[in-house]
Amino acid sequence: MNADAENLAEIESAALLEAVYRRWHYDFRGYAPETVRRRLDQARAALDEPTLSTLQGRVLRDTAAFARLLDFLTIQVSDFFRDPPYWRAVQTHVLPFLRTFPFARVWVAGCGDGEEVYSLAILLHEAGLLERTLLYASDVNPDALRRAEAGIYPVERVAGFSHNYREAGGAASLSDYYVASYGRAAFDATLRRNVVFADHSLATDGVFSEVQFVSCRNVLIYFGRTLQDRALDLC
């Protein structure tokens, strides 16, 4: 891409993000520029628009088109017990800390489709802490929140979930926590009994709640430095 084309792409990207903020009140202006540009281009191609400028005109007027754009801008690639050493560290350092409280509050910011929420709920259950812990699971994407609350995943993903669970030091078998049928794995509703799913933006909203532990690792990597600092101040 030559300098003129690069400059035009930056202008179009900034204009689209500003338009989305002013029209729909979702703020992606502080996201890492390279990441957001890549996702905008993916959305443009998926919606069969020739330029970001034409995409902007469409998402300003078409609710369904904006919903599709939102999926591209908020997509979070995750798995149950993603990065097992992290979860072993949670068991070693976080769970003993939470045990010191008669009732603990935990916030999973940017919960996406819920994989991290259920992973944490399973570990809390195995530690005997789930019944005295309230988990807040927040995201800016309402469709992702609905999928997270449903707790249903394609069954072909479960083998990977189970491998991560074993590597993370799970105390049982992951199959104890779900029922598989018709190509889907539905996780036990008791895991979300103490979970509050809520719409919340780290870019625009205020403090969510007073909590003892915050997990926001799925979103910080997509933020620019200024937005990272804002998110950390909220936590």
The arithmetic mean of pLDDT across residues 200-222, rounded, is 79
**pLDDT greater at residue 9 or residue 4:** 9
Residue 108 predicted with pLDDT over 80: yes
CB 35 within 8 A of CB 222: yes
Which pTM was predicted?
A: 0.78
Higher pLDDT, residue 10 or 77? 10
Q: Are 164 and 84 in contact (CB under 8 A)?
A: yes
Model pLDDT, residue 124: 97
Find the mean pLDDT for residues 211-232.
78
pLDDT at 103 over 80: yes
Q: What is the pLDDT of residue 165?
A: 96
Q: Which residues contact 23 (CB under 8 A, 6 or more apart)?
A: 59, 60, 66
Report pLDDT for 77: 66
Distance CA 177, CA 153 (A): 13
Whether residue 189 has pLDDT greater than 90: yes
pLDDT band at 179 (very low <50, low <70, confident <90, very high): very high
If pLDDT is split at 50, 70 and 90, which confidence band does 27 have? confident
